[in-house]
Amino acid sequence: MAKRPQLMAYATLSLISAYCALPFFWAALASFDGNASLFLKWPEDWTTANYTRIFTVENGLTWFMNSLIVVGAATVLTMVLGGLGGYALSRSNAWWKRPFLYTILLIRVVPPPALIVPLYKVLLTANRAVQEVLRAVLPPDMLRPAMRVFGLVDGYLGMILILTALQLPLALWILKTFFDTVSRDYDEAALLDGASLMQRIRLVLLPLALPGLAAAGLFAFISAWGDFLMPLIFISSPELQMLPLGLFRAFLRVNTVDWGFLTALAVLYMVPSVVAFGFARGFLVRTFGGGVKG
């Protein structure tokens, strides 16, 4: 009798897991099916053409590289700013600390579509200033390539800053909470040993902060990697398009949906997030399991 509730719980969890895994199973099978359709079926014509076509016929390599550059840079910037800001907030006793934390949390709660119009106007004005500066220091034939990198609208830099701003509030909360679990004795011991600020950060705080940084970086990467709205609004050049836009346009093909190509692209789209979670899983458990006790 004691085992019956446990068996029921395992059976329920198994059904829920199977239901959740079914779309992924369909996508994996359809990506290798030469005649893929909307319905789940075992492939009769196994092929890898759907995957090779992403890179040989379509602009799959460009989509992946743009996404990796933008999301990777935004994740690193979020970790750096979140780490420094989280440490400062954790060690500060200023009266404005708690109102500031709740304010940035409220900013994170605001739906991104509500920010589109004011954000676009601000970045468009700043983008004109950047263009004027680059025009003054670069030859005309170098202006467009430079704007692809430093442009705040239709440029790498703008997308990196936007994604960083969207992910930074949560990263600050995670890292501030994590540094609260790190004893101040480490800071005081390094200070007594004569370590400079940079030495304390590099030799003491950075090794201790790795679990928190990995957790914040994982959330930032997964959220930025799956962001569709911001690239749709702020990227217009074909050579700068990111993977979410490629997936969206693959679904909007004329006449009919190529389910084989679409699912192959979706499977590849999921791989970086799964790999990132695999690398950060251990740090994630340590971060939300109590951090570092001193």
Q: Could you report the per-residue pLDDT of 102-130, keeping only the tens digit for each?
A: 888 787 788 888 889 999 999 999 999 99
Residue with tokens 């790190």: 182
- What is residue 133's predicted lDDT score, i.e. its pLDDT? 92
How does residue 294 score in pLDDT terms, banded at 50, 70 and 90?
very low
**For the chain, what are the domain ranges?**
27-33+42-96+166-288
Mean pLDDT, all residues of the chain: 85
- pLDDT of 209 strictly over 50: yes
Task: Tell me the pLDDT band of 288, cut-offs 50, 70 and 90.
Answer: low
In whole angstroms, give the CA distance from residue 84 to residue 87.
5
pLDDT, tens digit (0-9, with 9 covering 90-100), for 33-84: 888 887 878 888 888 888 998 888 888 889 999 999 999 999 999 999 998 8
Take residue 78 and report the two structure tokens written for it: 């979020």
Distance linking the first and last C-alpha atoms of the chain: 45
Contacts of 173 (CB under 8 A, 6+ apart): 86, 101, 104, 105
Please state, in angstroms and as integers, the Cα–Cα distance from residue 120 to each residue in 77, 105, 113, 124, 248, following that order: 21, 22, 11, 6, 22
> Residue 262 and residue 251: Cα distance in Å, rounded?
7
More confident: 278 or 283? 278
Neighbour-count burial of 119, counting CB atoms closer than 10 A to its CB (0-12 exposed, 13-18 middle, 19+ buried): middle
236-255: pLDDT as tens digits: 888 899 988 888 877 776 56
Nearest to 68 by CA among 232, 249, 268: 268
Facing residues of 33 across strands? 46
CATH architecture type of domain 27-33+42-96+166-288: Orthogonal Bundle (1.10)
Tell me the percentage of the chain whose pLDDT exceeds 90: 29
pLDDT above 70: percentage of residues in the chain: 94
Sign for the CA dihedral angle at 131, 135, 136, 139 comes to: positive
DSSP 93-113: --TTHHHHHHHHHHHHHS-GG
What is the per-residue pLDDT for 200? Answer: 77
Burial class (CB in 10 A: 0-12, 13-18, 19+), 286: middle
Residues 214-233: what's their mean pLDDT?
Answer: 91
Is 162 a residue whose pLDDT tops 90?
Answer: yes
How far is 291 from 212, CA to CA, in rounded Å? 8
pTM above the 0.75 mark?
yes
Among candidate residues 63, 8, 34, the one with its CA nearest the CA of residue 238: 63
Whole-number pLDDT of residue 250: 73
- What's the rounded mean pLDDT across residues 184-193? 79
Residue 152 has a pLDDT of: 93
Give me the pLDDT at residue 238, please. Answer: 86
Predicted local distance difference test score (pLDDT) of residue 289: 56
